[in-house]
Amino acid sequence: MTKRLNNDIAALRCLVVVLLINLIASQAVSAGERVFMWKVDSPKATAYILGTVHMMKMEMYPLDSRIENAFKRSDAYALEFNIDDVTNIQMGTILSDVSYGGGDTIQKHISKETYDTLQKKFVEYGFPIEYMTKFRPWFLAITIETLEYQKLGLDPRYGIDKYFLQQAEGKKSIIELESFDSQMDLFRTMTEKDQELFLVYTLNDIEDGRKNLDILMTAWSDGDSKIMEKMMFDPLKEDRQLSRIYEKLFYERNRNMTDKIIKMLAQKGTYFVAVGAGHLVGKQGIIELLSHKGYAVRQQ
């Protein structure tokens, strides 16, 4: 058992960065009238803003020609953060952020009901109980979501962000709209109550997530922002407690990334911007925020 646990933790050290960047995943994309991409023009610049999918299947590539051609025309590629730039990422610091020190365990930070549900889920995955007890609730929520998508055959190695990053390296300027550290700060500053809320929501949403995956991805491939918005934000209507989670993980980040995009539009050039699809939709999404700032935004 000890040897197996050590192997699991060693594997986690290699996968931890990947596990931190998941949202939704994919099936093959068919050409339609629209794609999940918008064009924004300023007197000096043009930005193509693509709503991305962080986990994919290899067979979905290449993407729609409108997306591929917009990337080819661009001078720079902007994404949430450069996952390939690991030089500034200290694994020891990451592990201290995602896990408890000393003899502390998750049982001391969540309810017995939540712990029992979590325990059953990890037994289902075939992991020993010891695997989960040292990790913080927010990290276990992300891990569970990632494992669920991987069970469906989806792979973070084929995420859209990474796909374009591989093409951009050495050929285009690469701009980070955020940083790895700023994303970690979202969770470092999350209260214990909100961490448990995030975990409980993830555990309860797993079954619905499986059922809704096809709907989400059809909305993405059809460029249907209304359906995407409904799927992403309807849970907030059902449980207003989630507003704190949405503010931290979506709305605050949307405002910050919009400011970065506006700064790009003030400089000469053509920019290809790729952010998670959930950041583009809704009244507090990046597209609406740009429109409110007076920019003409056109879906492609």
What phi and psi values does residue 187 have, to the nearest 5 degrees? -90, -35
Q: Where are the domains of the chain?
A: 2-299
For CA atoms 11, 123, 146, 103, give the dihedral sign: negative
For residues 159 and 208, the answer to whether their CB atoms sit within 8 Å is no
pLDDT given for residue 22 in this prediction: 42
76-121 pLDDT, tens digit per residue, is 999 999 877 755 566 667 888 899 999 999 999 999 999 999 999 9
d(CA 203, CA 197): 10
Give the pLDDT score at 4. 41
Burial class (CB in 10 A: 0-12, 13-18, 19+), 14: exposed
Q: What is the bridge-based pairing of β-strands 37-41 and 76-79?
A: unpaired
Structure tokens at 227: 């359906």
pLDDT in tens, 230-240: 999 998 888 88
Instruction: Answer whether residue 281 shows pLDDT above 60.
Output: yes
Percent of the chain beyond pLDDT 90?
A: 59
User: Of 64 and 157, which is predicted with more confidence?
Assistant: 64
**Residue 179: how many CB atoms within 10 A of its CB?**
14
* Higher pLDDT among residues 23 and 169, named by residue: 169
What's the mean pLDDT when you consider all of the chain?
Answer: 86
* pLDDT of amino acid 63: 93
Tokens at 217, concatenated: 């991805």
* pLDDT of res. 91: 66
What percent of the chain shows pLDDT beyond 70? 86
User: Residue by residue, what is the 3-state secondary structure of the chain?
Assistant: CHHHHHHHHHHHHHHHHHHCCCCCCCCCCCCCCCCCEEEEECCCEEEEEEEECCCECHHHCCCCHHHHHHHHHCCEEEECCCCCCCCCCCHHHHHHHHECCCCCCHHHCCCHHHHHHHHHHHHHHCCCCHHHHCECHHHHHHHHHHHHHHHCCCEHHHCHHHHHHHHHCCCCEEEECCCHHHHHHHHHCCCHHHHHHHHHHHHHHHHHHHHHHHHHHHHHHCCCHHHHHHHHHHHHHHCHHHHHHHHHHHHHHHHHHHHHHHHHHCCCEEEEEEEEHHHCCCCCCHHHHHHHCCCCEEEC
pLDDT tens digits for range 44-74: 999 999 999 888 888 888 999 999 999 999 9
The token pair at 86 is 């690991």
- pTM for the structure as a whole: 0.85
Contact 254, 292 (CB under 8 A): no
Residue 297 has pLDDT above 60, yes or no: yes
